[in-house]
Structure 1
Amino acid sequence: MRRRRVYQYFVCASVLVYIYYFFGVCDYIFSKSYDDNFDYPLSIDIRPVVNEVLSGKKPSVAPINLYPYRFLSNSGKCSTLEKLDLFIVVKSAMDNFAKRNGIRQTYGQENIIPGRIVRVLFFLGIGDSKSITQMRVDREMADHKDIIQIDFHDSYYNNTIKTMMSFRWLYEHCSTADFYLFTDDDMFVSVKNLLDYLYDNPSTSSANEIESAKNNKMVVGNERDGILFAGYVFNSSPQRFSWSKWRVSLDEYPWNKWPPYVTAGAYVVSNRCMKLFHVGSLFVKNFRFDDIYLGIVAKKLGVKPTHCSRFHFYKKSYSESGYQDVIASHGYSDPDELYRVWNELNKS
């Protein structure tokens, strides 16, 4: 009887230890309060340094986050002399050929909105340089001239690199658009609805306000200052479960909440916000989840994300009437479905 009881105690203790580590109980208990002491490296107010860079001055603090990657291709899609209404950045994986073609045939058509100048580019990483996939990408780039390839390994945990390298490309090669939409290649997007939201909605910045804000040296602001960062906003906490692909350790991020962040599937930024995010990222330690990282950069810049319910993080069930005001919806991995829905909504 005594041996059996000892065995039962041992089993219970083992289960408790397993639960303790498997569910990251220790991490939840010992995480720091975000509300009381959030302080992500660089542990300084980066706003004065960002303003120095944007003013053409040498920063008083050295950057800590210079991604050591090169652009392997370029595009004539943008000129510093051309004024754009919207630039669409599509984050794509190398072998997603059908998805890219689907986008080219639907919302990626650049001349479908009368009176608006829109440009679209796909951003990719690399794999095996001698693979059949790379050879197909090379042919695709030659045919369409709408792909920017970057020499980092294309993987899920490198999405922040892809995102911030695309910000760098825009900053260096296409800084003339009023707005920039960043989207994954499995999203439905209505460019018309997006432009209506950006230009016709009084709660967002107008093009004229953005133009005037370019001379504004203040980083802190909201839409009236020409600083817009909008999409589906989440307020959530890190996952500490050992089995989760989204697990984050206390060493990586010790606080109990994330800053408010816009989900990475689709979001829009104004011209000034694009520049702030690029320059700000030079002084903010890299983080492997791109939407969280932009939330951290926004927090350190004093930029407040704007929630727009017309961006759908989950797939919105389709009906013609239900999609009349949708800007973006997740869940369109099938290019045929994207084409069918887009074609029905644009049949006139």
Structure 2
Amino acid sequence: MLGKGPRKQIVKYRESQCTLKRLIMRKNRYKLIVFALVLVYVYHFFGVGDYVQSKNFDNDFNYPLNVDIRPIVQAILEGQKPNVKPINYYPYKFLSNYRQCSVVNKPDLVIIVKSAIDHFGHRDAIRKTYGKPHVQGYNVKTFFFLGLDNASSDVQKNITKEMTEFKDIIQMSFRDSYFNNTIKTVMSFRWIFQHCAEAQHYLFTDDDMYISVQNLRKYVSEVTTASERDGILFAGYVFKSAPQRFRSSKWRVSLEEYPWDKWPPYVTAGAYVVSNKAMKMLYVGSLFVKHFRFDDIYLGIVAKKMGIVPTHCPHFHFYKKPYEREDYSDVIASHGYSNHDELIRVWNEQNAL
């Protein structure tokens, strides 16, 4: 028989053990709650649910307009009236239209520069380098496509002076901003389709790219892919990737906006070249393809709908390729030339070879 003292100690011990168990259970419960909250946060922040719920691109891609648009486009290009109405015609105007391409003296290449409205120095550097009208007998025309700033701003006043002096700026009646790049791209397609539709090839580029017209000329004359034999070329640095679903990302795309688990192959928007036939097919096709805010993705979607397979060309660099004189011998385009003196120096050195 235990005395009262030992029995009290046993009771206290058992009580302390129960208390300890309760504390441990409470602590574990808190840990479980915190863990659950972290999971919910990660699930929400990284868009896990969107990734899980994405549709399979390979089996279920049907981006609006959900019909085969190829016969519709072909009918339009043959001068016929389509039986389907366009769904994506932007209601903007061209506010300047100084230069048009001559039917008699057709350009071999038209360079379409997607330029930010206040990039005066960028445009001036381009005019002194790859934007020149003739490269070793190659007839080139260069146009700068801009959106709109406040009509009374100093920037717009300087744009007006620049347009009067150089007559190579096509300004359009929408706000010049990053998320209007698809509008700027399709509007530039519209302008060349209406006013400069006879060139052999069209180079679309941002205003901070180094461009070698000579290397581009060599590339388009040598390319022998099946698509080019059909007169269709849409070439540049081709990406195959998936939508980003992170909530904090500038490039986040919701399932409502694009429900599939990957993009169609697309050419990065920094610089790409299209043949005459591809230009016309992409523009007319865009009238029947729902707007998307990223211009390179959008053209990839239009190309997919039109059955055009983008051609990967490793000589287009979406990043800034470190400059060495010999290493640039085959470069067609390189990103990151916002330093005007650097662009002029590199271009002059390469063209002195």
TM-score normalised by L of structure 2 = 0.92
Counterpart selection for 2:164 from 126, 139, 142: 142
Q: 1:157 corresponds to which residue?
A: 179
1:38-75 Cα deviation digits (max 9, x unpaired): 00000000001001110111111010001010000012
Which whole-Å CA distance do the structure 1 matches of 2:26 and 2:156 have between them?
Answer: 64
Which whole-Å CA distance do the structure 2 matches of 1:35 and 1:122 have between them?
Answer: 37
Which whole-Å CA distance do the structure 1 matches of 2:52 and 2:290 have between them?
Answer: 25
Q: 2:240 corresponds to which residue?
A: 235
1:124-163 Cα deviation digits (max 9, x unpaired): 0012111110001111101111100001111111100000
Higher Cα Rg: structure 1 or 2?
2
Q: 1:130 corresponds to which residue?
A: 152
Counterpart selection for 1:259 from 255, 260, 264: 264
Structure with the bigger percentage of helix = 2
Q: Note the 1:279-298 alignment, pairs <5 A.
A: 279-298=284-303
Which whole-Å CA distance do the structure 1 matches of 2:285 and 2:146 have between them?
Answer: 23
TM-score normalised by L of structure 1 = 0.93
CA contact (8 A) 1:77 1:119 kept: no
1:238-271 Cα deviation digits (max 9, x unpaired): 0000111110000000000100000000000000
Counterpart selection for 1:29 from 34, 45, 52: 52
Instruction: Provide structure 2 residue ranges, at least 5 long, that are not aligned to the other structure.
Output: 1-22
Amino acid at match of 2:30: Y
Counterpart selection for 2:329 from 324, 331, 334: 324
Q: 1:119 corresponds to which residue?
A: 141
Superposed displacement of residue 12, structure 1:
1.2
Query: Superposition RMSD on alpha carbons, in Å?
Result: 1.1
Q: 2:341 corresponds to which residue?
A: 336
Matched residue SS, 2:328: coil
Q: 2:224 corresponds to which residue?
A: 203
Q: 1:299 corresponds to which residue?
A: 304
Which whole-Å CA distance do the structure 1 matches of 2:242 and 2:113 have between them?
Answer: 27
Q: Relative to structure 2, which stretch is displaced further, 63-72 or 75-84? A: 75-84
1:215-241 Cα deviation digits (max 9, x unpaired): xxxxxx711110000000000000000
Matched residue SS, 1:159: helix
Which whole-Å CA distance do the structure 1 matches of 2:161 and 2:267 have between them?
Answer: 34
Which whole-Å CA distance do the structure 2 matches of 1:338 and 1:202 have between them?
Answer: 27
Q: 1:212 corresponds to which residue?
A: none
Which whole-Å CA distance do the structure 2 matches of 1:253 and 1:22 have between them?
Answer: 18
Which whole-Å CA distance do the structure 2 matches of 1:92 and 1:115 have between them?
Answer: 26
Q: 1:178 corresponds to which residue?
A: 200
Instruction: Provide structure 1 residue ranges, at least 5 long, that are not aligned to the other structure.
Output: 205-220
Counterpart selection for 2:83 from 60, 68, 72: 60
1:181-206 Cα deviation digits (max 9, x unpaired): 0000010000011011112x1516xx
Q: 1:277 corresponds to which residue?
A: 282
Q: Does residue 1:222 correspond to 2:227, yes or no?
A: yes
CA contact (8 A) 1:66 1:282 kept: yes
Aligned residues: 330
Report % sequence identity: 62
Amino acid at match of 2:32: Y
4+ residue runs of structure 1 moved beyond 4 angstroms?
Answer: none
Q: 1:49 corresponds to which residue?
A: 72
Q: Does residue 1:187 correspond to 2:192, yes or no?
A: no
Q: 2:132 corresponds to which residue?
A: 109
Q: 1:248 corresponds to which residue?
A: 253
CA contact (8 A) 1:262 1:295 kept: yes
Counterpart selection for 2:117 from 87, 91, 94: 94
Superposed displacement of residue 77, structure 1:
4.2
Q: Does residue 1:75 correspond to 2:98, yes or no?
A: yes
CA contact (8 A) 2:266 2:296 kept: yes
